[in-house]
Each structure stands twice: as structure tokens, then as C-alpha cells.
């Protein structure tokens, strides 16, 4: 509304309705911010016309049967939920403020009072408000570089409630810069004799396949570390030990599986050493994965872990090397600061481990998941290292064909619009759609302008050719830019393959994510997307094998809920969607139509993801009452599923987390939030996360089993060849 004031006449002139009709007007149009969709194909003009003719939303609903055309039909479809939409959009002015604080009048009961420091501290900790947290305790003015263990605040999570003192470091640290062979030999003997060594590398790049070593650090006791500079080239850098000779002397220790090692994001360091021809063995721990298993909802970077668990802060990479275009390579950073930074990484990694590892050992389920993650890290390293072979020439040919089609679509769009315009400009698209062509407004942006996002284009494309052309243009442009153009450029010149990165500590459900490039989301629903997959090939004498679980999350739902009907459908090898349709519609399985099976499939998967009757109605294109009836019938036929959902919500509210079958803990910070939408989202996550998380655990277990089978087959082939 832009702060503009309007009198009654101004409202009438601008919107075509009276001020007392504005709520009904907004209900008809919908409000994307409040997730109220409005009546399909009803824009400002139609809404104003109806209100002027019938006076109110109630009057419009009473006359719904007489309203003609597509808009009238859509109005009748929306009758069931329009009153609810009105409630959602109406500003509440009837809140009871009396009695909240005994003896105080209404307004005094909501006056600002003293801070609730305990609750605030928990809130700041959960959501990473570090500066506010320090200010709350009066520590903002001068935060120490090292905080004594006794001063560390006890974390709120129950796993940390009875934890030992946070940091093992309570005084000045002792860091050594190794610049000569006697010092190197002394540290080599020290790590060789150590029960566990924190190992870290400083490198030339974040690209794990390209990174080269600048320096190596070690720590075997809290507060003590050594940094071996090997390729520092700044103006103040002294003479350093030769890189190749240092690595040659370290190689036996690095490749000895009996010498236990610890790191922060060990998969990256494995790649770095592999770039120098060293296959590190003996990695026993990874502080990033320890954090991921213990507190999946929080950041897992070393600086964050040290600050959160140890009360220790150190030099940041940006402080050392700068930011953005002004950032310098690590090898060029001021030498004294760089070596301190390198040694500090190993020291803090060990200190974090000594804090987190005992806490992991207190919970058998989390310990089991941590061991699974450590093993998965090794397999992911092998997958990333091996890479994937692509047919670059085929991709170039596809890129040319896509380019031709994109140009054709652009020309067709210009002809349909009657003018040239930028197909990537929401502003220009909006002007053509709504000002020039008068297309219906589906929804508005936060600023009140008609939206032209993907959802809007898909809706308009059902009836109008121009939005359909723009959608296809966007889809093909994305395929071309993301895959057919880019993948050939990402082939590693040394290996001749594309090497993706699998992020292991990102998704809260335990799923992996692929990036640089993303190989998990290549489209398969379009012909062009499927053709891109043809470019992933096997070398001569090899094949690509594809394997997937069938309806894995539904099977997990059956297992978790113990519902007899659902279990029977899977045990008997039935088409579970057809079986569900038969149950919901009260039919024999062979009488279920394809449309009824589709409805059942949407219900099956929708309920797993916490879909409401409103969401189901939108998805199926039916009214809210029918959708609600379907869900009620589903729960009548599958009472175990309903019981599981209800019990899971209650348990999540009581504990603040849910767990997978194997013990992965999925923390839900918003499960008791006073904010309704956030709490509802957390409740949906409580239902879905155990299924997604269990599926992720199973996939990781399968990856380990497949890798083991491949290695056993390779050993057998080697032994057979030798015989």
C-alpha cells in the first residue's frame, strides 16, 4: 500500500469497492503472503463487479449458481474454503487481553518487562545470534580469544546437559612453525607415537580436485600444534622445507591405517593428499560429521564449532586473506598470521573432538549413525575421485539443437505478444500479460503487483499460448546453460571426467546433495532432459547400472506405523496405490479406475509430506470438502497411519526431535513455536523426517554394501588372474 492514505472516495476510486468490502475483495483475489489462493481466473475487475452487484462475499456465494462463465464455475469450486480464506485474511480485533497477568489492566499486561535471559539465551543459541548472545551476558565489549573451560555455557540440548567442561584449552597456546628437518623429525616422531592426531591442510583452492598443498598442520594435545609451511610465497615468507620431500617422509605415516587421524571435513583433505599421490588411511574421526550427527540443525564449520562448544574464536579466513575481488591466495597472506591460522585449525579440531566425541558415545543410536557417516565419507571420496564419463560431443550437438529451438520459441513469443520483449524480464512480461493482453491476475507479489512466477505461468499456460512458450523457453534455456553448455567445460583435463561434490552435512534428513555440477537433478520428465542423460556413458567393456528402491518412503511408513492393511498391501506384492484406492473408494482392486488410482497416489504421498485437505484439494482440483472426506476415509481404512502421525507429533513436541529407524536424530527447533505457520511446518517435518531420514540411512548402507561387493569382486578377479 506504500504508506498512502485513502478516504472512502479514494478507496472506491482506486479499487472499485467500498472500504467495508475490501476484505471480501481481497478474499476473491487471494493473498500469496497469507497462502490464500483466491478464486481462479477472478481478477480486480471481476471481484469489484461481483461485489457491486451482490454487496458482499456472502451475497456472492448465495448467487453462485447464477454466475456464468469460467469464473462462475471456479467460484462454485471454491465455495467450501472461501469462508476460511476470509477468516485468514481478517485482522483480528477481538483478542481478550484481560486476565493475562492477574491484577493488571489489559494494556499493562502486554507492557515491556524485564528480559527473560534464559529463554533469550536459548533462542540466540538456536538461531546463531552470536552478537546478541554475547551482549546478553555483558561480554560484547571484549570477547577473549581463549575462554577458560569453566566459563563455557552449558548447551541447551539434552545431549549436552551433563557434558564435561567445554574446552581443554585454558591458557596460552603453544604453536610451532616447522622450518627445518630436526623440528620436522621431532614432530614426525610425536605424531607416529600419538594415539590420535588432528591433521589439516592449507591449500590453493576450494576445488578439491585442483587444490595443492600450501601447508600441513598437526595437533596431538590441546593447545599444542605444529604448522609445516611448504609453499608460502609472500614477501615476508622465509625459506621452507621442500614440499615433495616432506610429503615423501610423511607418506608412510599418512598411508598407515593403524595411525589414527582426525580432521574437519576429512573428505576434502583426502582429495588434497590424493592430488599429490598419497592415499590417506586411518581417518577415525571427522568433527564436521560429529556436529552433523549431534546437532543437524546448526552450522558445522570449524569456526562455528569452536565458538559454540569451546568459547574459542580465532582468525577468520576473510580477516587473513580479504574478501571478494580483493581476496588474496592463502600462500600470499602475511606469513606469521598464516602459520598461526594453520596451526590453530588443527588445535581447534582436536579440541572440538575432545568435546563432541564423549557426547556421541553417550547415545548408541547416534554413535551408530556417526559410524555410518564416517564409512559413507570414504565411499563418497571414491565416487567423487572416480568421476563420471560424459560424451562431450553429444552434449555439444544437443546444445546446438536446444539453441535453435530457444530462438524459435523467442520468435513465436514475440509474434504472440505483438512486439519484441525480453523473455527473462518479469517486468516486461507483466506489462504484456496484464496491461496489453489483459490476462487474468493469478496472484500478486509482496509489493502488490501481478506475479509472473513459474506457478503463475503454469496456470496461465493451461489457457493461453504465450505463457506456454515462455515456460518452454525457460526450461530449455536452463537445460542448455546448466547441462549441455556447462558439463563439457567441467571435464577435468587430467582425468577426462566430470567430478561432482557430494555434500554430506547439509540436508537435515541425512540426504546427500550434489553440486559443482549438480548431477542429482537432471530432468527426466521431458524428452530433452532424458536425452541429456544419454550423454553419461560407460567406457568400453563396462556398463552403467541403475538401481533404486520402489516406493521406499511408503514402505517405511508401513513399517513405522505397523498398519495392518498397508503392511498387507506390500507383503502381498499389491499395487499399493490401487490398494489404497480400493480401500478409500470401497471398491474391489480390479474395479479401480486410473483416475481413482491417481487420487490415491496423491493421497499416499501427500500425507507423508503432511499435506492438508486444502493442499490435497488444490493438487487434485477438487473442493475442500471432498478432499477432507478422502483423508478421513483414508485414516478410517489405515488407522495405524493416523495413530503413528498423532503419536509422532506428541513425541516431537515433548522431546524436540524425532528419530529414524536407525537412530538418526532430526531436531525440530520450531515444534513448540508460538508462530502457527512455523509450528505447523515443524509438525509436518516431524511426520516426514523419520521416513526421509530412514530412506537416506538405507541408501547409505546400500552404498557401503555395493562398494564392498565391488571390492570383493575386484579381489576375486585379481586372485583368479594370478592363479
Domains of the chain: 8-89 (1.10.150.20), 174-320+329-386 (3.30.420.10), 392-490 (1.20.1060.10), 552-700 (1.10.150.20)
In whole angstroms, what is the distance from residue 295 CA to residue 180 CA?
A: 42
Give the separation between CA 195 and CA 350, rounded to whole angstroms. Answer: 12
* Nearest partner of 119 among 517, 613, 672, 519, judged by Cα: 672
Between CA 541 and CA 392 the distance in angstroms is 19
SS3 316: coil
Q: Which residue from 372, 350, 238, 177 is spatially nearest to 292, judged by alpha carbons? A: 372
Pairwise CA distance, residues 202 & 345, whole Å: 9
CA separation for the pair 712, 623 (Å, rounded) = 57
Class of residue 358 by CB neighbours under 10 A (exposed 0-12, middle 13-18, buried 19+): exposed
Mean pLDDT of the chain: 88
* Of residues 128 and 394, more confidently modeled: 394
486-498 pLDDT, tens digit per residue, is 999 999 998 999 9
Say which residue, 521 or 184, is predicted with more confidence.
184
Mean pLDDT of 128-145: 61
User: Are the C-beta atoms of residues 372 and 168 closer than 8 Å to each other?
Assistant: no
Contact yes or no for 41/74 (Cβ under 8 A): yes
Question: Mean pLDDT, to the nearest integer, of 232-248?
Answer: 96
With bands split at pLDDT 50, 70 and 90, how would you rate the model's confidence at 357?
very high
Distances from the Cα of 358 to the Cα of 316, 329, 351, angstroms: 27, 37, 12
Q: Which of 619, 611, 610, 601 is nearest to 551 (CA)?
A: 601
- At a CB cut-off of 8 Å and minimum separation 6, what does 92 contact? none
| Helix H or strand E encompassing 262 | strand 261-263
Please give the grid coordinates belonging to residue 152.
563455557
Interhelix angle 624-637/639-655, nearest 10 degrees: 100
DSSP for residue 538: P
**Residue range 166-206, pLDDT digits in tens:** 566 656 889 999 999 999 999 999 999 999 999 999 999 99
**HSE of 187, CA atoms in CB hemisphere, 13 A:** 27
Instruction: Please say if the pLDDT value at position 138 is more than 70.
Output: no
Q: Which residues contact 642 (CB under 8 A, 6 or more apart)?
A: 635
> 266 pLDDT exceeds 90?
yes
> If you ran DSSP here, which 8-state letter would residue 168 be given?
S
Q: What's the pTM value of the predicted model, to 2 decimals?
A: 0.76
Give the whole-angstrom CA distance, residue 613 versus residue 634. Answer: 12
- Mean pLDDT value across residues 117-137: 79
With bands split at pLDDT 50, 70 and 90, how would you rate the model's confidence at 723? low
C-alpha–C-alpha distance, residues 607 and 688, integer Å? 9
The answer to whether the beta carbons of residues 571 and 558 sit under 8 Å apart is no
pLDDT of residue 133: 80
**Whether the predicted pLDDT of 86 surpasses 90:** no
Q: Say yes or no to pLDDT of 373 above 50.
A: yes
pLDDT band at 101 (very low <50, low <70, confident <90, very high): low
In this prediction, residue 139 carries a pLDDT of 46
The CA-atom distances, in angstroms, between 55 and each of 25, 136, 513 are 11, 54, 53
Amino acid at each position: 500500500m506504500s504508506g498512502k492514505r485513502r478516504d472512502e472516495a479514494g478507496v472506491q476510486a482506486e479499487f472499485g469497492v467500498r472500504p467495508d468490502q475490501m476484505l471480501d475483495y481481497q478474499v476473491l483475489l487471494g493473498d500469496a503472503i497469507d497462502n490464500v489462493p483466491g478464486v481462479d481466473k477472478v481478477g480486480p475487475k471481476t471481484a469489484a463487479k461481483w461485489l457491486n452487484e451482490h454487496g458482499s462475499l456472502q451475497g456472492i456465494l448465495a448467487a453462485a449458481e447464477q454466475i456464468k462463465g469460467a469464473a462462475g464455475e471456479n467460484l462454485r469450486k471454491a465455495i467450501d474454503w472461501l469462508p476460511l480464506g476470509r477468516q485468514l485474511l481478517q485482522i483480528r480485533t477481538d483478542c481478550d487481553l484481560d486476565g493475562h497477568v492477574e491484577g493488571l489492566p489489559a494494556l499493562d499486561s502486554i507492557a515491556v518487562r524485564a528480559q527473560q535471559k534464559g529463554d533469550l539465551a536459548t533462542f540466540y543459541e538456536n538461531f546463531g545470534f552470536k552478537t546478541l548472545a554475547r551482549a546478553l551476558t555483558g561480554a560484547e565489549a571484549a570477547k577473549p580469544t581463549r575462554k577458560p573451560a569453566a566459563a563455557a555455557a552449558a548447551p541447551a540440548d539434552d545431549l549436552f546437559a551433563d557434558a564435561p567442561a567445554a574446552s581443554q584449552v585454558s591458557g596460552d597456546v603453544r604453536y610451532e612453525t616447522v622450518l627445518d628437518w630436526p623440528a620436522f623429525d621431532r614432530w614426525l616422531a610425536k605424531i607416529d607415537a600419538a594415539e590420535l592426531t588432528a591433521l589439516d591442510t592449507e591449500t590453493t583452492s576450494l576445488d578439491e580436485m585442483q587444490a595443492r598443498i600450501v601447508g600441513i598442520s598437526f595437533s596431538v594435545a590441546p593447545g599444542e600444534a605444529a604448522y609445516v609451511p611448504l609453499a608460502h610465497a609472500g614477501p615476508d615468507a622465509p625459506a621452507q622445507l621442500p614440499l615433495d620431500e616432506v610429503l615423501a617422509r610423511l607418506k608412510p605415516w599418512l598411508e598407515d591405517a593403524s595411525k589414527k587421524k582426525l580432521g574437519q571435513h576429512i573428505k576434502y583433505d583426502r582429495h588434497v593428499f590424493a592430488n599429490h599421490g598419497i592415499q590417506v588411511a586411518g581417518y577415525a574421526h571427522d568433527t564436521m560429521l560429529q556436529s552433523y550427527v549431534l546437532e543437524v540443525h546448526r552450522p558445522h564449520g570449524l569456526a562455528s564449532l569452536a565458538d559454540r562448544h569451546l568459547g574459542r574464536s580465532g582468525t577468520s579466513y576473510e580477516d587473513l586473506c580479504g574478501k571478494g575481488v580483493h581476496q588474496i591466495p592463502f600462500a600470499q597472506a602475511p606469513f606469521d598470521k598464516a602459520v598461526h591460522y594453520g596451526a590453530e585449525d588443527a588445535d581447534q579440531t582436536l579440541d572440538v573432538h575432545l568435546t563432541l566425541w564423549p557426547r556421541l558415545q553417550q547415545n548408541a543410536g547416534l554413535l551408530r549413525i556417526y559410524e555410518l557417516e564416517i564409512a559413507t565419507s570414504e565411499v563418497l571420496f571414491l565416487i567423487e575421485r572416480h568421476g563420471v564419463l560424459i560424451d562431450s560431443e553429444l552434449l555439444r550437438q544437443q546444445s546446438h539443437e536446444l539453441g535453435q529451438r530457444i530462438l524459435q520459441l523467442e520468435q513465436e513469443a514475440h509474434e504472440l505478444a505483438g512486439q519484441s520483449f525480453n523473455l527473462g524480464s518479469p517486468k516486461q512480461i507483466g506489462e504484456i500479460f496484464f496491461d496489453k493482453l489483459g490476462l487474468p491476475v493469478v496472484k500478486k507479489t509482496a509489493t502488490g503487483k501481478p506475479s509472473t512466477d513459474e506457478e503463475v505461468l503454469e496456470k496461465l499456460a493451461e489457457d493461453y499460448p504465450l505463457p506456454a512458450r515462455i515456460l518452454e523457453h525457460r526450461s530449455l534455456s536452463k537445460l542448455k546453460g546448466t547441462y549441455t553448455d556447462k558439463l563439457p567445460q567441467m571435464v577435468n583435463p587430467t582425468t577426462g571426467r566430470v567430478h561432482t561434490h557430494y555434500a554430506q552435512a547439509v540436508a537435515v534428513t541425512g540426504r546427500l546433495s550434489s553440486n559443482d555440477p549438480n548431477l542429482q537433478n537432471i530432468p527426466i520428465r521431458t524428452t530433452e532432459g532424458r536425452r541429456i542423460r544419454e550423454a553419461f556413458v560407460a567406457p568400453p567393456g563396462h556398463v552403467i547400472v541403475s538401481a533404486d528402491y520402489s516406493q521406499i518412503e511408503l514402505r517405511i511408513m508401513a513399517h513405522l506405523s505397523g498398519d495392518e492393511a498397508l503392511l498387507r498391501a506390500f507383503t502381498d506384492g499389491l499395487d499399493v496405490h490401487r490398494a489404497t484406492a480400493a480401500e478409500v473408494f470401497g471398491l474391489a482392486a480390479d474395479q479401480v479406475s486410473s483416475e481413482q488410482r491417481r487420487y490415491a497416489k496423491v493421497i499416499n504421498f501427500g500425507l507423508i509430506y503432511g499435506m492438508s485437505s486444502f493442499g490435497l484439494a488444490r493438487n487434485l482440483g477438487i473442493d475442500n470438502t471432498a478432499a477432507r472426506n478422502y483423508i478421513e476415509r483414508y485414516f478410517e481404512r489405515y488407522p495405524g497411519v493416523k495413530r503413528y502421525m498423532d503419536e509422532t507429533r506428541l513425541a516431537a513436541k515433548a522431546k524436540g526431535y524425532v528419530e529414524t529407524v536407525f537412530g538418526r536424530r532430526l531436531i525440530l527447533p520450531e515444534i513448540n513455536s508460538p508462530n502457527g505457520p512455523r509450528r505447523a511446518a515443524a509438525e509436518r517435518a516431524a511426520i516426514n523426517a523419520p521416513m526421509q531420514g530412514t530412506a537416506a540411512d538405507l541408501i547409505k548402507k546400500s552404498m557401503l554394501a555395493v562398494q564392498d561387493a565391488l571390492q570383493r569382486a575386484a579381489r576375486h578377479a585379481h586372485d583368479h588372474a594370478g592363479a
